[in-house]
Every structure is written in C-alpha cells, then in structure tokens.
Structure 1
Amino acid sequence: MTTISCIIVNYNKEKFLQKAIMSVVNQTMPVTELIVADDGSTDGSRELITSLAHEYSQIKPILREQNLGVAANRDLAIRAAQSELITTLDGDDWYTPQKIEKEFLALQGSMETIAYSDVQLVRGEDESILYRDNSDLANLDIKQRLRWLANGSGSPLRDLLIPKELYIKAGGMQHGRNLYEDWDLQIRLAVCPNQWKHSGIVGINYRKTNSGLSTTSSRLRHIQAQYQVLMSNQELLKEHIGELGFWLAIVKLMLKVTRSALGIRSQLKRLRLGYQ
C-alpha cells in the first residue's frame, strides 16, 4: 500500500495551527504520518503540537530549538519523512477535506507523477478573496510548463503531492531561501520528464495574514527574491525555453520594478500634496 506523509511547518502560528493540523487529520484519505515541524515558536504552538500528538498517533512533532527559516525547516522535515509520497502545508493554511484523496487518485497509481490542486486565497479569518484555477498546467509539456512557471514570477501552485524520491532528485528546498522557495523547487521539478496531474478541486486554502513572510516583506523585496530564483535557475531555463524565453521572463519581472517605483513616487507625491 502506498504511504503518504504530510509535512506542516510552523513558526508562531498558534492561532491557526490547530485548524491546519485537523484539516490533515480529517482528510477523506488519511495520511500515514503527519510531521509538524515547529521552527522555535514562542507563542504556545509547541504545547499545542505536543497535546495533539498525544491524541492522534499519526502526528510526529519536530520541535526545533533554534529558528532555521522556513526552507531549511521544511526540507529537513521532508527528508525525515518515511513515506513514498509527500505533501506540505503551512501552519496558517488548511486543506479542503478531499485534497489528498483527489490528488492520489489523479496519480493513477504512478510513482513518477506529480499531482496538484487549485488554490483559494483567504484573508484574515476565512474571507475568500481570490480563486486560482491552474488546471491548464496539466496539459503542458516540459518546455511549456517551464515557460508557464518562469513567467508567473512566483508560482500560484502550492503543496504538491510528489514522490519523495523525486523531491530528493530535484535537490529539495534551498536552505536560506525563505521567499519563493517553493517556486524555486517547482522550476527544478518541472524539468523532470514527469506528468503533472490536476486533482479537479480546490485543495488548499492559502491564508494571507499581516504576519506572514509574504505579507511583511516589501514589494521590492519580493521582486528581488523572484529575480534570484530566476537567475539561480538560468542555465536550466535557457536549456529548455531558450535564451530569449529566459530574458523575456527577466524583462517581465523588471517591469514590475518600474511599476512598483512609479507607485511609490505616486504615493510620495500625494503625501507632499497633503502637507501643502
């Protein structure tokens, strides 16, 4: 029987963590193990994880004494997983009930395939603000897939169901890359000659909070992180989408910098007018 591990990473998300954990526990297709890797939280998360682990035997806590950063924390937890298939979740997000079952069925028994679901963006507590339909990705070949990812400037995909062996082969999460580390991995996964299958459902509720890395980092910091991902994968991208395709992705990203700078100038102008 195929085994599945889910890895939840957490840092000071006690307010939302139980919902994240229980969304995995209550899946219509149970996971073999649920690793909850806490990255040195100080808000009561660790006590919550320990309490739930006593109640649910599939929960395996990893309680780090020092904060490693999200990429290193997730990577080391994935490498510690015992299952053939792995999937992930952030401590402030949650799955819909059939996420894992539908993705597993999409694999059709293949251990060489990647499965993914659509993403629902949620603000605050549970206010839905944007739905991302990524079903078309499943119809693309390697070149088209890489172009889709490169021009996305930060992938809208989250929490893929993938063979652990493939994760290791692709190099895993890059330690120290704590913005767009998942996009970086997906670019490297996309060059593997594997099919990507869509589950047909919304599988992940992605919460936008005021304390997450993606929210607290400035717009220019986001663009810088995206640029670093593209540049670190430039040889791979040039090989598959060509020199022109790679530089077009860079140009598209640089246009974001221009728009961001114009936005800042506009805000400063309004502020100056307000003081006059």
Structure 2
Amino acid sequence: MNVSVSAIIPVYNGESFLQDAIESILQQTHQVSEIIIIDDGSKDKSFDIAISISKSSSVPIKVFRQQNSGVSVARNLGLLKSSGDLVAFLDVDDIWKPTKIEKQLALYDELKNHEAFIFTDYYLDDENDTCRALAGYTDYNVCTQTNFSKEDFQLAFIRRNFVGTASTVIFNRELAMKIGGFNHRLNHSEDFDFILRYSQHGCVYVITDPLAVKRSHGANLSGDLKLHFWSHYIALKSNINLSSSFTRFNYRGDVEYEMMLSHDMYLIRFCNEVYELSIKKGLKEYFKAILKIKTFRGLREFSKAFIRKVIRTASFGVIKRS
C-alpha cells in the first residue's frame, strides 16, 4: 500500500499530555511518514517538549509555532506544512490505540476511494466497553455500509454529530485543502463544519472498533455551552449559504432543510443559554433571533420557547412584588 500518512497534533498548553500523544503515534503498527506539531502560542513548555522529542524520534517530527490563533488556524497550518497523501489529526490530550492507522489504511485500500473519510469509535477515558463513545448510537450505522450515499450520511450527521472527535479521523489532504480546510471563525464545531463540507466530495465510513482514547480533564470539561451553540449555529448557517451560492456545494433539498431546521434549533438553544445567564440579555437575543429562523417548525419551537421565557420573566416580577 503506497500511501503516506501525516499525523498532526495541534497543541495549546498541553505539556502534561504531549509526550503520551506522540508516543501513541510512534507505537503504531503501521507507522506514519511524519508527525507535524503546531504549537498555538502555548504559555507552558509544550514547544520545548516537542523540540526535545523530535531530536530522537524514529519518525520525522516537524514542530511549528504560531501566535495564539485558535485550533482551526492551527489545524490549517498543519495541513499546509504536511506532505502526506492522507492526514490524521490527534488532539494533544487524546491517544491512539496501536492498530488505528493500520486498520484505517486496510479499509482505505479495500474501498479503492482515495477521497474516503474514515473515522472510528473511541473510548472515553477508560478502555472498557461501557466507555465506548458510540456504543449507544445508531445514527452512524449508515457509515458501515459500502453503498450509502453522501446524503444518507449528511442527514444522520446533521441530526447528531456522531463522529465526536477529530482524533479518530483520517482523510485526503489534497481534498481538505481544496474545500478550504477548517473555518478559522470557529473554535467550537469546526470539526462538524469541516466534515459536512468534506462529505460533499468524499464518502464517510466508520470502523466500529474503538481505536482512540479521549481523555477528560479540567480544561476540556469546562465547556462553554453558549459558545458551543453559537458556533454550531454559525457552522450550519455557513453551509446553508455555501449551498445557495456555489454549485459545487449544493446540498440536496432534504439535506438543506435538515440543516435549516438544525440551524433554528441551535439558535434557540443559544438564546435559552444566554437567558439562563442573564434574563435581560436573553430576551434581547430572542428578539434578534426572530428574523433568523428559517423553517416553520423552527418558528413553532422558537415561539414556544420564547413564550415560556416571557411567562417565567413575568413570574419573577410577581414574586419580587409580593
């Protein structure tokens, strides 16, 4: 199999995890051709650790440093600096199981599709079946078939992002560059946005074996729901706009509707989250959102959510006056 693979690790303040991440790449049963490390302006010793390991590595390691610009910019720099036919990302706080690349390349070779996008199941912290991230999902089953359409994948993926983490994926580097890489405006949901655009050109497949471990810790547990909902809304809005502007990104009608409905739901969730943090700001966001709703079902759900908040706000006023 004459295919080269570049492993890319974006890192920001990952000194506690970087060595384990690199070791999990070096221990692959099918070795990658290079490891690209992008230090996103870390304030700890991540850059120094990367340089030190690169000096004695059995696999070429290239280390680059940029001003802190976010994960999307770091991923794009990794794509630019890499040279492999295929690219596999590894978040600095995650690790690969030893056979990850071997099994993905075996499927890649079987598919005879050089634009295939292949992801895997993964463990959440502990390596046992109760901690398999995709164990309770049925949506991703479409990706186990060999004759499914891109629309089958897109409909399931928009309803539920079952890929979960960039640490399980492998895909064609050239195609990734052609579609514009990762949206630098997004530091949340950038993977969702990228995969959705990629799926317009390359089919998506899953290996149901858990071949990575996503490790939870303080920094990645303190998620900002407001930012997550807003970023997902922006990602969907961007893809809807692409579909209407460029022929090469035209999504099928039912897929575009599913994007618009999901767009509405995430906008509502964003407004709800802002309201929980500040009633005044939340109501302001609801009023701003009215003209952004794209579907009748979304409008119905928006109206119900808005009315509940108005009643709740009025109730607060009654309680305060009593």
Relative distance call for 1:203 and 1:135 in structure 2 (3 A) is farther
Name the structure 1 match of 2:316.
Answer: none
Name the structure 1 match of 2:308.
Answer: none
Q: 1:3-42 to 2 correspondence within 5 Å?
A: 3-42=4-43
Other structure's SS at 1:248 match: helix
Q: Which has the higher contact order (CA 8 A, sep 6+)?
A: 1
Give the superposed CA RMSD: 2.9
Structure 2 unaligned regions, length at least 5: 244-248, 280-322
Q: Once structures 1 and 2 are overlaid, which stretch shifts more, 6-15 or 237-246? A: 237-246
Other structure's SS at 1:197 match: strand
Q: Percent identity?
A: 25
Q: 1:70-81 to 2 correspondence within 5 Å?
A: 70-81=71-82
Q: What is the TM-score when the length of structure 2 is the normalising length?
A: 0.73
Q: How far apart are residue 45 of structure 1 and its match?
A: 1.2
Q: How far apart are residue 208 of structure 1 and its match?
A: 2.6
Q: Does 1:117 align with 2:120?
A: yes
Relative distance call for 1:115 and 1:153 in structure 2 (3 A) is closer
Name the structure 1 match of 2:251.
Answer: 239
What letter is aligned with 1:247? M
Could you give the per-residue CA deviations for residues 109-143 of structure 1, whole angstroms, max 9, x where no partner exists? 532322211122228xx9x8552244433434211
Name the structure 2 match of 1:197.
Answer: 205
Measure, in 1, the Cα distance between the counterparts of 2:158 and 2:123. Answer: 21
Measure, in 1, the Cα distance between the counterparts of 2:3 and 2:79. Answer: 17
Could you give the per-residue CA deviations for residues 69-91 of structure 1, whole angstroms, max 9, x where no partner exists? 11111111112111111110111
Measure, in 1, the Cα distance between the counterparts of 2:154 and 2:184. Answer: 22
Name the structure with the higher helix share: 2
Structure 1 unaligned regions, length at least 5: 266-276
Q: Once structures 1 and 2 are overlaid, which stretch shifts more, 71-80 or 134-143? A: 134-143
Other structure's SS at 1:198 match: strand
Measure, in 2, the Cα distance between the counterparts of 1:224 and 1:197. Answer: 28
Name the structure 1 match of 2:174.
Answer: 165
Measure, in 2, the Cα distance between the counterparts of 1:54 and 1:244. Answer: 52
Relative distance call for 1:220 and 1:238 in structure 2 (3 A) is farther
Name the structure with the higher strand share: 1
Judge conservation of contact 1:118–1:203 (CA < 8 Å) in 2.
yes
Partner residue of 2:233 out of 227, 230, 240: 227
Aligned residues: 263
Other structure's SS at 2:10 match: strand
Q: How far apart are residue 198 of structure 1 and its match?
A: 2.2
Query: Structure 1 segments of 4 or more deviating over 6 A?
Result: 261-265
Measure, in 2, the Cα distance between the counterparts of 1:89 and 1:216. Answer: 20
Q: How far apart are residue 68 of structure 1 and its match?
A: 2.2
